[in-house]
Amino acid sequence: MKKNKKIKGGNRQTSGRNTQLRSIAIGVGVVLIIIGVVGILHNIHSSENWSVSDEGKLSYDLPEKTDYSIINSNTTESSDIVKLLTFKSKDNVIQSLMHFPSSSEKVPGIVVLPGAGVTKEEQQGLASELVEMGYATITIDQRNQGAVYPETDLELFKQDKEPVEYSMVYDVLMAAEVLRDQKEVDPDKMAMLGISNGGRFAIIATALDPKIKGVVGISTSGYQTNTIDKDRVDENTYFFYRSIDPDTYITTISPRRVVMFHATNDTIVPYSMAEDTFELASEPKTMYTVNGTTHGYSPSTKEELKKELAIIFNK
């Protein structure tokens, strides 16, 4: 049974999503309807270390060792530690910030994924709040600054080349490996937290990595590709769009916890789409309804977030 809790939202906050991404939340479904006009064959795509099953689910083989470099490390006025680092992820070098509380014990770690157009530096307000709660974080600069281009990626998929969105999922999995490797972090206690587009990648990555304890999605949703008639869509179109849809994966996260926060009048990702995604998740799960138009993290939900993370990590 869904557990909804209404929270009064503060001032409107946006994820910095640029104009062309405003329609992404509903655009993929529209694109599918437009182009889904030919018959379907049957196939499983596979290339290099990734594959897509006949259910439309992406899978990856991760390397045994992560390759990263700490650029610098500083101690804040509150004795927290902040590290700037880069790590290698396929053909790219990902810029990241790690933030650690001052603690003599190992602490749980959280991968923080900003919304489209938001840098790792701009997301440090939330990272600082998580550190205050006693968690280590890694926040990454996502490829394309979190933007996605489904039509371009579909063409790559048709050629058995790796779509950029797949690489972005891989980046998230690698970020978790980097954070696990830190001496300050308990490698057995990891979670994902994503905002808007970052929430979509957080859900997919959590489903792919069974070591992740749970996921928090803020102002995010799936694309509702589960409503598409498989028999009326081109095979490549169907499998690709299913493979980038969080709705495809959220059903497999249980028994790990799924937590969502969403504003009733979010003008970027409709509340109804978030509800539909949440309904697909199995227990344990919780969705908090925030009053207002907030898109992104609202400080008014801090206590609820703190409570849910404690449940995820069994604190």
Residues 197 and 258: their CA atoms lie apart, in Å, by: 16
Share of the chain above pLDDT 90, in %: 77
Q: What is the pLDDT of residues 190-199, one digit of tens each?
A: 999 999 999 9
Q: What is the pTM of this model?
A: 0.87
CA 21 to chain centre: 16
Residues 296 and 277: their CA atoms lie apart, in Å, by: 17
Q: Which two tokens stand for residue 192?
A: 């994902």
Residues 272 and 221: their CA atoms lie apart, in Å, by: 9
CA 143 to chain centre: 13
Phi, psi of 149 (to 5 degrees): -130, 80
Q: What is the pLDDT of residues 150-176, one digit of tens each?
A: 999 999 999 999 999 999 999 999 999
Q: What is the pLDDT of residues 104-137, one digit of tens each?
A: 899 999 999 999 999 999 999 999 999 999 999 9
Q: Which two tokens stand for residue 104?
A: 């003599």
- On whether the CB atoms of residues 203 and 246 are closer than 8 A, the answer is yes
The torsion defined by the Cα of 296, 299, 303 and 309, in degrees rounded to 10, comes to 40
Fold of 4-16+71-153+160-224+245-312: Rossmann fold (3.40.50)
Confidence of residue 64 (pLDDT cuts 50, 70, 90): confident
Q: Which two tokens stand for residue 200?
A: 């979509």
